[in-house]
Chain A
Amino acid sequence: MAGIIKREQTLDKFFYGLTFSAAFLVLAVIGSIFISLFRESLPAIETFGFYRFVSSTAWDPVREIFGAATTLYGTLVTTFLALIMAIPIALGIAIFITELCPKFLKPVFGTAIELLAAIPSIIYGMWGLFTFAPLMGEYVEPFLQQIFSPIPVIGKLFSGLPLGIDILTTSIILSIMIIPFIASIVRDTFALTPVQLKESAYGIGATRWEVIKDVVIPYSKTGIFGSVIIAMGRALGETMAVAFVLGNKHAIATSLFSASATITVTLANEFTEADSDLYLSSLFYLALILLTMNFLVLAIAKTFLTRKGKVWC
């Protein structure tokens, strides 16, 4: 009897240790990702420093001068434009699902929007390259150019030959990819608004839109903010869809119709072709910068979304 209890106690401890090490592995992995990326990028850090690397627009593999400014610019611009396009649509979708959609359609429509997030990014890339970019280059962009190019300052954004492989197309595709992330989190926070609050507003004669605008949205602003930041994290790290339609050109572009490069695309296209140690190390440096940005952005989103005691993501 004592033997059995002893054995069970040992097994109990063993199982505890087993599960603990599996859980601890997550910390170990994220830690070693940071450490090993830092170690691999040391030569580039020593050669270029931080400020000089981030601010330099050079990307010259032949002369071995590398800077992150062009790719950082591409990453930030496409992410920013994608967010601007995605936020209103995603909010509209969330309003539609919580306030307007007939009850029996709610789960169907919600799942349909979430399927947009399940489509792998390489499919977005295929569709973008073969179907969407030609449409943009042939019809949409010349049309936009016609309208906007006579206007003095804005016209500059629409200059150049519209080919469809450019910042605008990429941002639109990115915006489609992040809509479901914002929409589904915002929908959940909308649904948490206390019914009493809404009913009091209706009681004093507010219209549906006024209830949404003045009660539901203010009540869920942390959720909205958090969801936008999560979507931003996604857009920053998106690789394959962008690799197909952005054109991988290292330059600071001022037109929406010019090709550009992001950190992710540069990694995808040049990593296996980097022929010198400094080149490879600079690519690792880019990866480290991307990881750090992404990690910070998501940590901010987490603190926003968990502050109210519920975790959505």
Chain B
Amino acid sequence: MTEIAKRKLINSGALCLACFAAAIGLFWLIFILSDVLRHGIAYINPSLFCKTAAPPGMDGGGLKHAFVGQLLITFFALLIGIPLGILGGTYLAEYGRYQRIGRLISTISDIMISVPSIVIGTFVYAIFVKPIGHFSGFAGSVALAIIMIPVVLRTTEDMISLVPWEIREAAFALGAPYYKVILQVVYRGAATGIFTGILLAIARIAGETAPLLFTSFNNMFFTTNMNEPMPSLTVTIYQYAMGPYDDWHEMAWAASFSITLFILTLTILGRLMIRWKYKN
């Protein structure tokens, strides 16, 4: 075989392997999503959303308590996380862009995005649950907020940094103080980007389980009292999947399906918005 033929053969072999790797990646995605869809959609029914849990081993019942709990915990996490994240990101992009401390905080937030979420759970347990003496929905919200703050903060910083400096100068020239320039000019320019960051942060925390295990804990009953242990969809999935009953497994699948659908929708929506806004 000539040298050229050999090189061509190696070339096509290697490129085939690359295609094969891509096929494997796609295969896993389709395998997992179709599996969740196949199992989940069969068990989605109205009573899942309208009824609370039946006693263990009994038929019927639903996951209304877990859906409501998840919404409440997430809502309060957003209430804490969004303002802090946006304000922090504003500092990094506006005041701290060329400061040492600004760069340091930016780097640390990047690292914090990847800190294991279960470690954050143990931390909130140590500072919140242990002193109070019982698990509570608020503790779960605090844990989720700690996870989402760096995400919102970094996207806000990036998006605000994209707003051209000349626009600020135009506002300064009219005599506007800096805070008004930020509130009324910069935020308006970066609104889509910041909103996308919030969507992605919601998608991130909606599927978190580990930080809720020791903070909001779990509960089989319907409650809206954030000061009590609170059920959440994810922890309920864990408990039901590990449990012995078939109808628990079915409900875990149904819950998995709803949560996956919610998160993937948010993620795709966020990406489309970014592409639409920053096309060029």
| A93 and B95 alpha carbons, distance in the complex (Å) | 40
Contact A237 B237 (CB under 8 A): no
Picked from B96, B150, B210, B260, the residue with its CB within 8 Å of the CB of A240 is B210
Number of interface residues, chain A, beta carbon within 8 A = 94
Whether A294 contacts B118 in the complex (CB less than 8 A), given A209-B10, A302-B110, comes out as no
Contact B210 A239 (CB under 8 A): yes
Contact B116 A120 (CB under 8 A): no
Contact B118 A120 (CB under 8 A): no
Contact B91 A123 (CB under 8 A): no
- Tell me whether A73 is interfacial, beta carbon within 8 Å: no
Contact B114 A294 (CB under 8 A): yes
Q: Quick one: which of A134-177 are within 8 Å of B by CB?
A: 176
Picked from A11, A22, A284, the residue with its CB within 8 Å of the CB of B122 is A284
- Tell me whether B75 is interfacial, beta carbon within 8 Å: no
Contact A37 B119 (CB under 8 A): yes
Question: Smallest Cβ distance from A131 to chain B, in angstroms?
Answer: 5
Contact B94 A19 (CB under 8 A): yes
At the interface, is chain A mostly helix, strand, loop or mixed?
Answer: helix
Contact B114 A20 (CB under 8 A): no
Contact A127 B21 (CB under 8 A): no
Q: Determine the chain A residues whose CB is within 8 A of the CB of B209 once the complex forms.
A: 120-122, 239-240
Contact B241 A113 (CB under 8 A): no
| A27 and B101 alpha carbons, distance in the complex (Å) | 10
At the interface, is chain B mostly helix, strand, loop or mixed?
Answer: helix
Contact B29 A122 (CB under 8 A): no
Contact A115 B267 (CB under 8 A): yes
Picked from B29, B179, B241, the residue with its CB within 8 Å of the CB of A116 is B29
- Tell me whether A96 is interfacial, beta carbon within 8 Å: yes
Q: Determine the chain B residues whose CB is within 8 A of the CB of A24 once the complex forms.
A: 105
| A313 and B106 alpha carbons, distance in the complex (Å) | 11
Q: Quick one: which of A231-262 are within 8 Å of B by CB?
A: 233-234, 236-240, 243-244
Contact B114 A267 (CB under 8 A): no
- Tell me whether A311 is interfacial, beta carbon within 8 Å: yes
| A233 and B234 alpha carbons, distance in the complex (Å) | 23
- Tell me whether B42 is interfacial, beta carbon within 8 Å: no
- Tell me whether A67 is interfacial, beta carbon within 8 Å: no
Whether A267 contacts B122 in the complex (CB less than 8 A), given A19-B91, A120-B234, comes out as yes
Name the CB-closest residue of A to B176: A8
Chain A 65-92, CB within 8 Å of chain B: the 1/0 string? 0000000000000000000000011111
Q: Determine the chain A residues whose CB is within 8 A of the CB of B39 once the complex forms.
A: 130
- Tell me whether A56 is interfacial, beta carbon within 8 Å: no
Picked from B11, B88, B217, the residue with its CB within 8 Å of the CB of A272 is B217
Stretch at the interface among B46-54, B66-74, B123-131: B123-131
Contact B150 A26 (CB under 8 A): yes
- Tell me whether B263 is interfacial, beta carbon within 8 Å: yes
Most buried by B among A99, A121, A306: A121
- Tell me whether A185 is interfacial, beta carbon within 8 Å: no
Question: Smallest Cβ distance from A9 to chain B, in angstroms?
Answer: 7
For the complex of A and B, 4 pairs with smallest distance between CB atoms:
A92-B21, A120-B207, A237-B116, A22-B87
19 contacts between A and B (CB under 8 A): A11-B177, A19-B87, A30-B108, A92-B21, A92-B24, A99-B18, A111-B271, A115-B268, A119-B207, A120-B206, A121-B209, A122-B209, A123-B36, A125-B238, A239-B116, A272-B217, A294-B114, A298-B111, A313-B114
Measuring CB to CB, which residues of chain A are less than 8 angstroms from any residue of chain B? Answer: 8-9, 11-12, 14-16, 18-20, 22-27, 29-30, 32-33, 36-37, 39-40, 88-93, 95-97, 99-101, 107, 109, 111-116, 118-127, 129-131, 176, 179, 183, 207-210, 212-213, 230, 233-234, 236-240, 243-244, 264, 267-268, 271-272, 283-284, 287, 290-291, 294-295, 298-299, 302, 306, 311, 313
